[in-house]
Amino acid sequence: MPLGEVVRDKSDSRYCGVETEFNDDMPQLLAFNINGGFDFVVSPLMDPSYRPSLMVAGNNGAGVPPFAGSDLVLSPSQWSSHVVGKISSWIDLDSEDEILRKDSEIALKEEIAWACHLSLQACLLPTPKGASCANYARCVNQILQNLTNMQLWLRIPLEKSDNDAMNGNSDHLSGGQVDSWETWNSFRLLCEHHSQLSIALDVLSSLPSSNSIGRWFGESVRAAIIHTSSFLTNARGYPCLSKRHQKLLSVFFNHSIQAVVSGKPEHSLPTGSSELAVNHIDGLQRHPLRPYLDYVAYLYQRMDPLPEQERFELGYRDFLQSPLQPLMDNLEAQTYETFEKDSAKYIQYQRAVSKALMDRVPDEEASMITTVLMVVGAGRGPLVRASLQAAEETGRKLRVYAVEKNPNAVVTLHSLVKLEGWENMVTIVSCDMRCWDAPEKADILVSELLGSFGDNELSPECLDGAQRFLKPDGISIPSSYTSFIQPVTTSKLYNDVKSHKDLVHFETAYVVKLHRVARLAPSQPVFTFTHPEYSITRSNQRYMKLQFEMPNDTGSALVHGFAGYFDATLYKDVHLGIEPSTATPNMFSWFPIFFPLRTPVQVPPGSPLEFHIWRCCGSTKVWYEWCVTSPSSSPIHNSNGRSYWVGL
């Protein structure tokens, strides 16, 4: 049964599995564990004593391996829904022993072929045995080439890393162990980042540093195997987890990662426990691991429900979208409607306009002076409404010009003005702001031309064209905005871009609701634009070189690309933005932007990551170019805007 029904996304993390030993009576094994409350079993498919080299030739020379009974012992839906195949743990494809190596290769291929025959959704691969895993990865990669829908979960321990990276030993962990992330990274690089190769993390009693763990949240982790030896005992004698383990499990749940309980029961329930009194349920023995399952379910059920905004954004998580081009294209009604629902944004705009009106017109002159306010890019009128509400709130008189180039939105604007009775206050102008010849100068110029990266929807070019009808002492809202950039690990997005198998998609910036992502270093400011900008020598072309330092205890990390954000000053202390450390609460108009790398860059511990980005301007388009130069050099992406640009 699922861990619980809570108001959150109905993800795979609702289901908890259990790791079992080999049992040739699969119906009995499955019935015992499902009746015990678990949703699926992670079970060996082959007798652990089987070795291909020990098989006696027969049946015309073909050995018949002792698989776990016939595929008919369970229905196809039971195999598919309730069984994850566990590949034999003795397998060692990089062994010095040639017989063991050959046996391992044969057994691996036989077991996965059998799992495919059973239509299993996933198989758990054993952890690589040594520092080298090249032959193991080669065999798995061969299998992946012909795999249809099944996932392969590579078992990786979540090792404790102590402080070796700070002591200069960046290659190994304490006791000479290789960083388990390095093992995974080596394996997936050898397998060309295959989208059907995932991770099952072994969660042990000691955990690495938070920064070290953080790397995994951008990786394709499908399961967290929690060992009974990792559980502590609470005051009542029941199993529980440390605060750090609890927090980790909550993050796993939020990333749709399934829990799997593994090991023998290590807790004796207290005498007189109500659980001990229930020895049989419907004639079946109580599952010995049920207290561990109950605790995992308890952690799941006590998670905070997703806020309404997060529930709204669920379908957009890690989904690549092309950025809007509102200057080159006319937006559709549905797009306008979505953005107009963002009350948090318009509250900030109303605050900014209110403060500007009060600074512009003293209280004693409020009834005598009419402020001229121009909304450039008025859309269907939300900024017009916010500005008029600001005027009412402050007791100031206002004359509004609503300038909009989209003729379809202008139709709606006319209806809105008539409906609200604004005819004496609002003049609608159906024109591109860059071409309009205004009948008078504006005191305040209001716009919402910002993109996810601040300037990526050509706000600088539009406002430069519009500021000629702003009074010399006039106010622009926003008055400035800055873009920010941050290196990230995001296997999901990288594989989605890679699936297109072309250069264009790797040289395109995407709007995306980042979720399964590891943010590897704090974001840094990139380009700043200020309005009005009266300097005749100032160009909108920009170039920035940034150097990111990963925290010492992170370990190595793989950078798949860069997340971009913006922060805007609307007026004085009123700001608006999506940069994570200063983001405006409950605002959903903008998702981050994502600049992918054609080849992910591995950053060793202690090495700086050097990133370059250019904002280039041509006569008909604006585009970005970007690259990495340290610790290794990437190609310069999107040269001359060959793949992605914003049309003027």
Which residues are known to be catalytic?
A: 448, 457
Residue 404 is labelled as binding a ligand? yes
Whether the Cβ atoms of residue 614 and residue 542 lie closer than 8 Å to each other? yes
Residue 109 is labelled as binding a ligand? no
Question: Between vectors from CA 370 to CA 368 and to CA 374, what angle results, nearest 5°?
Answer: 170
What distance, in Å, lies between the first and last C-alpha atoms of the chain?
Answer: 56
Question: Between vectors from CA 327 to CA 326 and to CA 331, what angle results, nearest 5°?
Answer: 30
Question: Between vectors from CA 250 to CA 150 and to CA 234, what angle results, nearest 5°?
Answer: 120
Residue 300 is labelled as binding a ligand? no
What DSSP letter does each residue of 386-442 carry, written as one string?
HHHHHHHHHT-EEEEEEEE--HHHHHHHHHHHHHHT-TTTEEEEES-TTT---SS-E
Which residue stretches of 128-226 are H helix? 134-145, 180-190, 210-214
Rounded Cα–Cα distance for residues 214 and 161 (Å) = 13
Q: Give the largest Cα separation in the chain, rounded.
A: 105
CA distances from 36 to 2, 23, 284, 285 (A): 12, 17, 9, 8
Look at phi and psi of residue 572 and say left if phi exceeds 0, alpha if psi is from -120 to 50, else beta.
Answer: left
Query: At which residue do the structure tokens 């290196």 appear?
Result: 487
Rounded Cα–Cα distance for residues 428 and 381 (Å) = 10
Sheet holding 442-446, edge to edge: 426-430, 397-404, 370-376, 442-446, 470-477
What DSSP letter does each residue of 66-100 carry, written as one string?
-BSS-GGGS-HHHHHHHEEEE--TT--TT-S-HHH
Contacts of 579 by beta carbon, 8 Å cutoff, 6+ apart: 484, 523, 565, 566, 567
Rounded Cα–Cα distance for residues 601 and 562 (Å) = 11
Residue 303 is labelled as binding a ligand? no
Query: At which residue do the structure tokens 């790791």 appear?
Result: 19
Tokens of 536: 């005749």
Residue 433 is labelled as binding a ligand? yes
Residue 345 is labelled as binding a ligand? yes
Query: At which residue do the structure tokens 């402050």 appear?
Result: 394
Backbone angles phi, psi at 337, to 5 degrees: -60, -40
Name the β-bridge partners of 224: 201, 259
Rounded Cα–Cα distance for residues 580 and 93 (Å) = 44
Whether the Cβ atoms of residue 3 and residue 297 lie closer than 8 Å to each other? yes
* CB burial string 408-441: b at 16+ within 10 A, e below: ebbebbeebbeeeebeebbebbbebbbebebeee
Query: At which residue do the structure tokens 């807790």 appear?
Result: 267
* CB burial string 558-593: b at 16+ within 10 A, e below: bbbbbbbbbbbbbbeebbbbbbeeeebeebbbbbbb
Binding-site sequence positions: 336, 345-346, 404, 432-433
Known binding-site residues for S-adenosyl-L-methionine equal: 336, 345-346, 404, 432-433
